[in-house]
Structure 1
Protein backbone atom coordinates (compact mmCIF):
# COMPACT_ATOMS: atom_id res chain seq x y z
CA UNK A 1 0.00 0.00 0.00
CA UNK A 2 1.58 3.36 -1.02
CA UNK A 3 2.53 5.66 1.84
CA UNK A 4 0.22 8.47 0.62
CA UNK A 5 -2.75 6.09 0.55
CA UNK A 6 -1.94 4.74 4.02
CA UNK A 7 -1.74 8.26 5.36
CA UNK A 8 -5.05 9.31 3.82
CA UNK A 9 -6.71 6.08 4.89
CA UNK A 10 -5.49 6.59 8.45
CA UNK A 11 -7.06 10.03 8.58
CA UNK A 12 -10.37 8.64 7.33
CA UNK A 13 -10.18 5.82 9.89
CA UNK A 14 -9.52 8.39 12.59
CA UNK A 15 -12.71 10.22 11.61
CA UNK A 16 -14.90 7.19 11.01
CA UNK A 17 -13.44 4.46 13.16
CA UNK A 18 -13.27 1.91 10.32
CA UNK A 19 -13.20 -1.71 11.45
CA UNK A 20 -13.34 -0.93 15.17
CA UNK A 21 -16.86 0.52 14.92
CA UNK A 22 -20.00 -1.59 14.26
CA UNK A 23 -21.78 -1.15 10.94
CA UNK A 24 -24.79 0.41 12.64
CA UNK A 25 -22.66 3.11 14.24
CA UNK A 26 -20.97 3.89 10.91
CA UNK A 27 -24.42 4.24 9.34
CA UNK A 28 -25.47 6.57 12.16
CA UNK A 29 -22.49 8.81 11.40
CA UNK A 30 -23.19 8.70 7.66
CA UNK A 31 -26.85 9.63 8.24
CA UNK A 32 -25.81 12.55 10.46
CA UNK A 33 -23.47 13.85 7.77
CA UNK A 34 -26.04 13.41 5.01
CA UNK A 35 -28.61 15.25 7.12
CA UNK A 36 -26.17 18.15 7.52
CA UNK A 37 -25.45 18.09 3.78
CA UNK A 38 -29.13 18.40 2.88
CA UNK A 39 -29.78 21.02 5.56
CA UNK A 40 -26.92 23.17 4.29
CA UNK A 41 -28.01 22.89 0.65
CA UNK A 42 -31.53 23.91 1.69
CA UNK A 43 -30.19 26.96 3.55
CA UNK A 44 -28.14 27.96 0.51
CA UNK A 45 -31.14 27.69 -1.78
CA UNK A 46 -33.19 29.90 0.54
CA UNK A 47 -30.43 32.52 0.60
CA UNK A 48 -30.47 32.65 -3.19
CA UNK A 49 -34.26 32.94 -3.21
CA UNK A 50 -34.18 36.16 -1.16
CA UNK A 51 -32.72 38.15 -4.07
CA UNK A 52 -33.87 36.03 -6.98
CA UNK A 53 -35.57 37.96 -9.84
CA UNK A 54 -39.20 36.88 -10.50
CA UNK A 55 -38.44 36.36 -14.20
CA UNK A 56 -35.76 33.89 -13.16
CA UNK A 57 -38.42 31.40 -12.04
CA UNK A 58 -39.87 31.41 -15.54
CA UNK A 59 -36.42 30.76 -17.00
CA UNK A 60 -35.55 27.91 -14.61
CA UNK A 61 -34.94 24.58 -16.41
CA UNK A 62 -37.04 21.57 -15.47
CA UNK A 63 -35.68 19.16 -12.81
CA UNK A 64 -35.42 16.51 -15.53
CA UNK A 65 -32.52 18.57 -16.94
CA UNK A 66 -30.34 17.82 -13.88
CA UNK A 67 -27.30 15.80 -14.93
CA UNK A 68 -28.18 13.02 -12.46
CA UNK A 69 -31.74 12.53 -13.73
CA UNK A 70 -30.79 9.50 -15.83
CA UNK A 71 -30.13 7.49 -12.65
CA UNK A 72 -33.17 5.38 -11.77
CA UNK A 73 -33.88 5.93 -8.07
CA UNK A 74 -36.82 5.15 -5.74
CA UNK A 75 -39.45 7.88 -5.76
CA UNK A 76 -40.58 7.40 -2.17
CA UNK A 77 -39.96 5.45 1.02
CA UNK A 78 -42.09 2.49 -0.06
CA UNK A 79 -40.03 2.03 -3.20
CA UNK A 80 -36.78 2.47 -1.25
CA UNK A 81 -37.83 -0.34 1.09
CA UNK A 82 -38.03 -2.67 -1.91
CA UNK A 83 -34.44 -1.92 -2.99
CA UNK A 84 -31.65 -4.09 -1.55
CA UNK A 85 -29.37 -2.58 1.09
CA UNK A 86 -26.33 -2.87 -1.19
CA UNK A 87 -28.15 -1.16 -4.08
CA UNK A 88 -29.35 1.67 -1.83
CA UNK A 89 -25.78 2.38 -0.78
CA UNK A 90 -24.64 2.16 -4.41
CA UNK A 91 -27.27 4.75 -5.41
CA UNK A 92 -26.24 7.11 -2.61
CA UNK A 93 -22.56 6.80 -3.56
CA UNK A 94 -23.31 7.31 -7.27
CA UNK A 95 -25.27 10.51 -6.58
CA UNK A 96 -22.64 11.88 -4.22
CA UNK A 97 -19.75 11.20 -6.59
CA UNK A 98 -21.65 12.82 -9.48
CA UNK A 99 -21.48 16.13 -7.61
CA UNK A 100 -17.73 16.35 -7.04
CA UNK A 101 -17.09 18.49 -10.15
CA UNK A 102 -20.33 20.54 -10.09
CA UNK A 103 -19.77 21.52 -6.43
CA UNK A 104 -16.25 22.64 -7.31
CA UNK A 105 -17.68 24.73 -10.14
CA UNK A 106 -20.38 26.27 -7.92
CA UNK A 107 -17.78 27.15 -5.32
CA UNK A 108 -15.52 28.88 -7.85
CA UNK A 109 -18.48 30.72 -9.42
CA UNK A 110 -19.92 31.92 -6.10
CA UNK A 111 -17.16 34.47 -5.48
CA UNK A 112 -18.31 36.58 -8.46
CA UNK A 113 -22.02 35.76 -8.30
CA UNK A 114 -24.20 38.88 -8.83
CA UNK A 115 -25.90 38.43 -5.46
CA UNK A 116 -25.60 40.58 -2.29
CA UNK A 117 -24.78 37.50 -0.18
CA UNK A 118 -22.19 36.02 -2.52
CA UNK A 119 -19.50 35.94 0.20
CA UNK A 120 -21.76 33.95 2.56
CA UNK A 121 -22.80 31.69 -0.31
CA UNK A 122 -19.17 31.04 -1.18
CA UNK A 123 -18.36 30.20 2.45
CA UNK A 124 -21.28 27.77 2.72
CA UNK A 125 -20.32 26.08 -0.53
CA UNK A 126 -16.85 25.50 0.86
CA UNK A 127 -18.47 23.89 3.87
CA UNK A 128 -20.74 21.88 1.57
CA UNK A 129 -17.72 20.51 -0.29
CA UNK A 130 -16.08 19.48 2.99
CA UNK A 131 -19.21 17.65 4.16
CA UNK A 132 -19.54 15.98 0.79
CA UNK A 133 -15.95 14.72 0.86
CA UNK A 134 -16.26 13.48 4.44
CA UNK A 135 -19.51 11.69 3.65
CA UNK A 136 -17.94 10.14 0.55
CA UNK A 137 -15.04 8.80 2.64
CA UNK A 138 -17.48 7.26 5.09
CA UNK A 139 -19.59 5.67 2.35
CA UNK A 140 -16.43 4.16 0.85
CA UNK A 141 -15.76 2.46 4.18
CA UNK A 142 -19.37 1.27 4.42
CA UNK A 143 -19.26 -0.18 0.92
CA UNK A 144 -16.23 -2.22 1.90
CA UNK A 145 -18.32 -3.81 4.64
CA UNK A 146 -21.45 -4.45 2.58
CA UNK A 147 -20.20 -6.44 -0.39
CA UNK A 148 -19.47 -5.96 -4.12
CA UNK A 149 -22.92 -4.66 -5.13
CA UNK A 150 -22.60 -1.63 -2.87
CA UNK A 151 -19.24 -0.76 -4.45
CA UNK A 152 -20.71 -0.23 -7.93
CA UNK A 153 -20.93 3.44 -8.91
CA UNK A 154 -22.94 4.63 -11.91
CA UNK A 155 -21.19 7.15 -14.14
CA UNK A 156 -23.11 10.44 -14.21
CA UNK A 157 -20.74 12.96 -15.84
CA UNK A 158 -21.46 16.67 -15.53
CA UNK A 159 -21.42 18.32 -18.95
CA UNK A 160 -22.83 21.69 -17.98
CA UNK A 161 -19.60 23.50 -18.70
CA UNK A 162 -18.07 26.28 -16.63
CA UNK A 163 -20.01 29.26 -17.99
CA UNK A 164 -23.07 30.49 -16.12
CA UNK A 165 -23.94 33.03 -18.81
CA UNK A 166 -23.17 36.62 -19.65
CA UNK A 167 -26.02 38.60 -18.09
CA UNK A 168 -26.87 38.83 -14.39
CA UNK A 169 -30.20 37.02 -14.59
CA UNK A 170 -28.82 34.08 -16.59
CA UNK A 171 -25.96 33.65 -14.14
CA UNK A 172 -28.30 33.63 -11.16
CA UNK A 173 -30.74 31.24 -12.87
CA UNK A 174 -28.07 28.74 -13.90
CA UNK A 175 -26.40 28.87 -10.50
CA UNK A 176 -29.72 28.43 -8.73
CA UNK A 177 -30.73 25.58 -11.00
CA UNK A 178 -27.52 23.64 -10.40
CA UNK A 179 -27.79 24.18 -6.66
CA UNK A 180 -31.45 23.09 -6.67
CA UNK A 181 -30.42 19.88 -8.45
CA UNK A 182 -27.91 19.24 -5.69
CA UNK A 183 -30.52 19.97 -3.03
CA UNK A 184 -32.83 17.39 -4.63
CA UNK A 185 -30.06 14.79 -4.77
CA UNK A 186 -28.84 15.51 -1.25
CA UNK A 187 -32.38 14.78 -0.06
CA UNK A 188 -32.30 11.45 -1.91
CA UNK A 189 -28.92 10.55 -0.41
CA UNK A 190 -30.15 11.44 3.08
CA UNK A 191 -33.36 9.43 2.61
CA UNK A 192 -31.57 6.36 1.26
CA UNK A 193 -29.06 6.32 4.11
CA UNK A 194 -31.75 6.71 6.76
CA UNK A 195 -33.84 3.91 5.26
CA UNK A 196 -30.68 1.79 5.06
CA UNK A 197 -29.81 2.52 8.71
CA UNK A 198 -33.33 1.61 9.77
CA UNK A 199 -33.40 -1.64 7.78
CA UNK A 200 -30.02 -2.86 8.99
CA UNK A 201 -31.10 -2.14 12.56
CA UNK A 202 -33.93 -4.65 11.92
CA UNK A 203 -36.53 -2.05 12.71
CA UNK A 204 -40.03 -2.78 11.44
CA UNK A 205 -40.22 -1.57 7.79
CA UNK A 206 -43.22 0.63 8.48
CA UNK A 207 -41.15 2.53 11.04
CA UNK A 208 -38.32 3.34 8.62
Structure 2
Protein backbone atom coordinates (compact mmCIF):
# COMPACT_ATOMS: atom_id res chain seq x y z
CA UNK A 1 0.00 0.00 0.00
CA UNK A 2 1.07 3.59 -0.59
CA UNK A 3 2.19 5.58 2.43
CA UNK A 4 0.04 8.52 3.48
CA UNK A 5 2.71 10.93 2.21
CA UNK A 6 2.74 9.22 -1.19
CA UNK A 7 -1.07 9.29 -1.31
CA UNK A 8 -1.08 13.02 -0.55
CA UNK A 9 1.58 13.57 -3.21
CA UNK A 10 -0.46 11.66 -5.79
CA UNK A 11 -3.61 13.60 -4.92
CA UNK A 12 -1.69 16.88 -5.17
CA UNK A 13 -0.42 15.95 -8.65
CA UNK A 14 -3.98 15.29 -9.80
CA UNK A 15 -5.34 18.53 -8.34
CA UNK A 16 -2.45 20.87 -9.27
CA UNK A 17 -3.63 21.95 -12.78
CA UNK A 18 -7.09 23.00 -11.56
CA UNK A 19 -5.76 24.71 -8.44
CA UNK A 20 -3.17 26.63 -10.47
CA UNK A 21 -5.79 27.78 -12.96
CA UNK A 22 -7.98 29.11 -10.17
CA UNK A 23 -5.18 30.82 -8.29
CA UNK A 24 -3.47 32.87 -11.03
CA UNK A 25 -4.70 36.47 -10.78
CA UNK A 26 -5.34 38.65 -13.78
CA UNK A 27 -2.57 41.19 -14.10
CA UNK A 28 -2.73 44.32 -16.24
CA UNK A 29 -5.13 43.06 -18.85
CA UNK A 30 -7.24 40.08 -19.73
CA UNK A 31 -4.52 38.60 -21.92
CA UNK A 32 -1.46 39.63 -19.90
CA UNK A 33 0.31 37.89 -17.03
CA UNK A 34 3.34 40.14 -16.79
CA UNK A 35 3.51 42.94 -14.24
CA UNK A 36 6.05 44.80 -16.37
CA UNK A 37 3.10 45.78 -18.58
CA UNK A 38 1.48 47.69 -15.72
CA UNK A 39 2.64 51.32 -16.16
CA UNK A 40 -0.74 52.31 -17.57
CA UNK A 41 -2.76 51.27 -14.51
CA UNK A 42 -3.09 53.29 -11.33
CA UNK A 43 -0.57 53.04 -8.51
CA UNK A 44 -3.26 51.67 -6.19
CA UNK A 45 -4.25 48.87 -8.57
CA UNK A 46 -0.63 48.04 -9.31
CA UNK A 47 0.10 47.68 -5.60
CA UNK A 48 -2.92 45.38 -5.26
CA UNK A 49 -1.67 43.20 -8.13
CA UNK A 50 1.85 43.07 -6.69
CA UNK A 51 0.41 42.00 -3.32
CA UNK A 52 -1.64 39.30 -5.07
CA UNK A 53 1.54 37.96 -6.64
CA UNK A 54 3.35 37.96 -3.29
CA UNK A 55 0.44 36.19 -1.57
CA UNK A 56 0.35 33.44 -4.19
CA UNK A 57 4.12 33.01 -4.18
CA UNK A 58 4.10 32.58 -0.41
CA UNK A 59 1.18 30.13 -0.53
CA UNK A 60 2.80 27.95 -3.20
CA UNK A 61 6.22 28.10 -1.48
CA UNK A 62 4.56 26.87 1.73
CA UNK A 63 2.93 23.99 -0.16
CA UNK A 64 6.23 23.14 -1.87
CA UNK A 65 8.14 23.07 1.41
CA UNK A 66 5.52 20.80 3.03
CA UNK A 67 5.44 18.44 0.05
CA UNK A 68 9.24 18.21 -0.08
CA UNK A 69 9.32 17.51 3.66
CA UNK A 70 6.73 14.72 3.38
CA UNK A 71 8.43 13.09 0.41
CA UNK A 72 12.12 13.30 1.28
CA UNK A 73 12.83 14.32 4.90
CA UNK A 74 12.98 11.66 7.65
CA UNK A 75 10.65 12.54 10.52
CA UNK A 76 13.39 13.10 13.18
CA UNK A 77 15.01 15.70 10.92
CA UNK A 78 11.66 17.42 10.40
CA UNK A 79 11.70 18.36 14.08
CA UNK A 80 14.88 20.42 13.78
CA UNK A 81 14.30 24.17 13.95
CA UNK A 82 17.12 24.80 11.46
CA UNK A 83 16.75 21.85 9.05
CA UNK A 84 20.11 21.85 7.30
CA UNK A 85 22.17 23.90 9.70
CA UNK A 86 22.76 26.52 7.00
CA UNK A 87 22.09 30.24 7.28
CA UNK A 88 19.59 31.57 4.78
CA UNK A 89 21.25 33.10 1.73
CA UNK A 90 19.60 36.48 2.35
CA UNK A 91 20.97 36.78 5.89
CA UNK A 92 23.60 39.27 4.67
CA UNK A 93 20.97 41.64 3.27
CA UNK A 94 20.17 44.69 5.36
CA UNK A 95 16.48 43.81 5.63
CA UNK A 96 14.66 44.87 8.83
CA UNK A 97 13.41 41.83 10.70
CA UNK A 98 11.85 42.96 13.97
CA UNK A 99 8.42 44.55 14.15
CA UNK A 100 9.83 47.81 15.50
CA UNK A 101 12.47 48.02 12.75
CA UNK A 102 9.89 47.42 10.02
CA UNK A 103 7.57 50.09 11.39
CA UNK A 104 10.37 52.66 11.46
CA UNK A 105 11.64 52.32 7.89
CA UNK A 106 10.39 54.55 5.10
CA UNK A 107 8.16 53.54 2.20
CA UNK A 108 11.23 53.78 0.00
CA UNK A 109 13.07 51.17 2.04
CA UNK A 110 10.02 48.94 2.28
CA UNK A 111 9.94 48.74 -1.51
CA UNK A 112 13.70 48.38 -1.91
CA UNK A 113 13.74 45.66 0.76
CA UNK A 114 11.13 43.70 -1.19
CA UNK A 115 13.10 44.18 -4.41
CA UNK A 116 16.33 42.98 -2.80
CA UNK A 117 14.60 39.86 -1.50
CA UNK A 118 12.98 39.11 -4.85
CA UNK A 119 16.18 39.58 -6.85
CA UNK A 120 18.31 37.55 -4.47
CA UNK A 121 16.05 34.49 -4.93
CA UNK A 122 15.80 34.40 -8.74
CA UNK A 123 19.02 32.42 -9.35
CA UNK A 124 18.65 30.08 -6.34
CA UNK A 125 15.20 29.01 -7.54
CA UNK A 126 16.60 28.25 -11.01
CA UNK A 127 19.28 26.16 -9.30
CA UNK A 128 16.62 24.37 -7.25
CA UNK A 129 14.66 23.50 -10.39
CA UNK A 130 17.75 21.83 -11.82
CA UNK A 131 18.53 19.83 -8.69
CA UNK A 132 14.96 18.60 -8.22
CA UNK A 133 14.94 17.05 -11.70
CA UNK A 134 17.71 14.70 -10.47
CA UNK A 135 15.61 13.30 -7.61
CA UNK A 136 14.17 9.82 -7.91
CA UNK A 137 10.38 9.84 -7.49
CA UNK A 138 10.14 13.64 -7.30
CA UNK A 139 6.45 14.30 -8.02
CA UNK A 140 5.58 16.48 -10.99
CA UNK A 141 3.58 18.57 -8.53
CA UNK A 142 6.76 19.69 -6.77
CA UNK A 143 8.62 20.36 -10.01
CA UNK A 144 5.69 22.35 -11.42
CA UNK A 145 5.29 24.40 -8.26
CA UNK A 146 8.98 25.30 -8.20
CA UNK A 147 8.93 26.29 -11.88
CA UNK A 148 5.74 28.33 -11.39
CA UNK A 149 7.14 30.19 -8.38
CA UNK A 150 10.36 30.94 -10.25
CA UNK A 151 8.44 32.46 -13.16
CA UNK A 152 6.07 34.35 -10.87
CA UNK A 153 9.02 35.77 -8.93
CA UNK A 154 10.37 37.39 -12.11
CA UNK A 155 6.94 38.90 -12.73
CA UNK A 156 6.89 40.17 -9.13
CA UNK A 157 10.31 41.77 -9.65
CA UNK A 158 9.02 43.59 -12.73
CA UNK A 159 5.94 44.79 -10.86
CA UNK A 160 7.96 46.10 -7.91
CA UNK A 161 10.30 47.95 -10.30
CA UNK A 162 7.33 49.65 -11.98
CA UNK A 163 5.87 50.45 -8.55
CA UNK A 164 9.15 52.04 -7.44
CA UNK A 165 9.16 54.21 -10.56
CA UNK A 166 5.54 55.24 -9.93
CA UNK A 167 5.86 55.93 -6.20
CA UNK A 168 9.44 57.13 -5.89
CA UNK A 169 10.42 58.14 -9.41
CA UNK A 170 13.48 55.93 -9.14
CA UNK A 171 15.02 53.22 -11.25
CA UNK A 172 15.78 49.61 -10.53
CA UNK A 173 18.15 48.62 -7.74
CA UNK A 174 20.07 45.44 -8.47
CA UNK A 175 21.52 43.17 -5.81
CA UNK A 176 24.79 41.48 -6.60
CA UNK A 177 25.28 37.91 -5.44
CA UNK A 178 27.69 35.51 -7.04
CA UNK A 179 26.82 31.82 -7.16
CA UNK A 180 29.76 31.22 -4.86
CA UNK A 181 28.18 33.54 -2.29
CA UNK A 182 24.84 31.77 -2.62
CA UNK A 183 25.87 28.15 -2.52
CA UNK A 184 28.70 27.02 -0.28
CA UNK A 185 28.63 23.40 -1.34
CA UNK A 186 30.93 20.52 -2.17
CA UNK A 187 31.31 19.44 -5.76
CA UNK A 188 29.73 16.07 -4.95
CA UNK A 189 27.85 16.25 -1.64
CA UNK A 190 26.40 13.03 -0.26
CA UNK A 191 22.71 12.43 -0.84
CA UNK A 192 21.49 13.38 2.63
CA UNK A 193 23.49 16.61 2.62
CA UNK A 194 22.15 17.49 -0.81
CA UNK A 195 18.54 16.81 0.22
CA UNK A 196 18.87 18.80 3.44
CA UNK A 197 20.47 21.70 1.59
CA UNK A 198 17.55 21.82 -0.83
CA UNK A 199 15.10 21.56 2.06
CA UNK A 200 16.83 24.44 3.81
CA UNK A 201 16.64 26.47 0.60
CA UNK A 202 12.89 25.87 0.33
CA UNK A 203 12.30 26.74 3.99
CA UNK A 204 14.35 29.93 3.71
CA UNK A 205 12.49 30.98 0.59
CA UNK A 206 9.17 30.37 2.31
CA UNK A 207 10.24 32.70 5.14
CA UNK A 208 11.39 35.40 2.75
CA UNK A 209 8.26 35.07 0.60
CA UNK A 210 6.19 35.71 3.71
CA UNK A 211 8.36 38.72 4.52
CA UNK A 212 7.79 40.13 1.00
CA UNK A 213 4.04 39.79 1.49
CA UNK A 214 4.11 41.45 4.94
CA UNK A 215 6.21 44.40 3.75
CA UNK A 216 3.96 45.02 0.75
CA UNK A 217 0.81 44.86 2.88
CA UNK A 218 2.34 47.30 5.35
CA UNK A 219 3.05 49.64 2.44
CA UNK A 220 -0.58 49.40 1.32
CA UNK A 221 -1.76 50.07 4.86
CA UNK A 222 0.39 53.19 5.01
CA UNK A 223 -1.17 54.46 1.80
CA UNK A 224 -4.61 54.24 3.41
CA UNK A 225 -3.96 54.95 7.08
CA UNK A 226 -0.42 56.08 7.80
CA UNK A 227 -0.99 56.33 11.57
CA UNK A 228 -2.64 53.00 12.28
CA UNK A 229 -0.51 50.25 10.73
CA UNK A 230 0.66 48.26 13.72
Under TM normalisation by the shorter chain, which class is it?
A: 0.7 to 0.9
TM-score calculated relative to the size of structure 1: 0.81
Q: Structure 2: give runs of 5+ residues left out of the alignment.
A: 1-27
Aligned to 2:209: 186
Query: 1:155, 1:49 → 2: CA distance?
Result: 30
Q: Does 1:68 align with 2:90?
A: yes
The size of the alignment, in residue pairs, is 195
Checking the alignment, whether the CA contact within 8 Å between 1:110 and 1:122 is kept in structure 2 is yes
Aligned to 1:140: 161
Out of 48, 55, 60, the residue aligned to residue 35 of structure 1 is: 55
* 67-76 vs 152-161, which moves further: 152-161
Query: 2:221, 2:106 → 1: CA distance?
Result: 13
* 93-102 vs 140-149, which moves further: 140-149
| Structure 1 residue 148 displacement after superposition | 5.8
Q: Structure 1: give runs of 5+ residues left out of the alignment.
A: 1-9
Checking the alignment, whether the CA contact within 8 Å between 2:132 and 2:138 is kept in structure 1 is no
Q: CA RMSD in A?
A: 2.8
TM-score calculated relative to the size of structure 2: 0.73
Higher helix share: 1
Distance 1:67 1:95, change over 3 A: same
Checking the alignment, whether the CA contact within 8 Å between 1:113 and 1:171 is kept in structure 2 is no
| Structure 1 residue 102 displacement after superposition | 0.3
Query: 2:174, 2:221 → 1: CA distance?
Result: 23
Query: 1:197, 1:182 → 2: CA distance?
Result: 23
Query: 1:165, 1:184 → 2: CA distance?
Result: 28
Question: What secondary structure does 2:218 align onto?
Answer: helix
| Structure 1 residue 152 displacement after superposition | 3.2
Query: 2:186, 2:144 → 1: CA distance?
Result: 21
Checking the alignment, whether the CA contact within 8 Å between 1:199 and 1:205 is kept in structure 2 is yes
- Structure 1 residues 87-134: Cα deviation after superposition (integer angstroms, max 9, x where no partner): 1100100110001110001011111224x4432211111111121011
Correspondence list, 1:17-166, <5 A: 18-51=38-71, 52-57=73-78, 60-62=83-85, 65-114=87-136, 116-147=137-168, 151-159=172-180, 160=183, 166=189
Query: 2:63, 2:186 → 1: CA distance?
Result: 24
| Structure 1 residue 150 displacement after superposition | 7.3
Query: 1:204, 1:146 → 2: CA distance?
Result: 15
